Amino acid sequence: MELYGSNVTDLALADWLLALIPAPLVAGLAVGVLSSLSLAAAVGAGSVPATGLVGYALFYSGPQ
């Protein structure tokens, strides 16, 4: 495994999943801050797809 000079195309699906897990949480946080929706509801709604990504990473496309 080469640490330096790695290309983005060298990333595995698990790497992409780990990078994407915080995205729905950050989106929910932004919606909660920028809208009249409560922060707890917005982050809670963002946790649903984040949990789905974790479940997909663990049980469907698990580590090899």
Task: Give yes or no for residue 5 having a pLDDT over 70.
Answer: no
In the block, tokens 């922060």 appear at: 39
Instruction: Please indicate whether residue 64 or residue 57 has the higher confidence score (pLDDT).
Output: 57
pLDDT of residue 24: 96
Contact (CB, 8 A) for 11 and 55: no
Average pLDDT value for residue range 40-57: 94
pLDDT of residue 12: 79
Read off the pTM. 0.73
Using CA of residue 53, residue 55, residue 18, residue 40, what is the dihedral sign?
A: positive
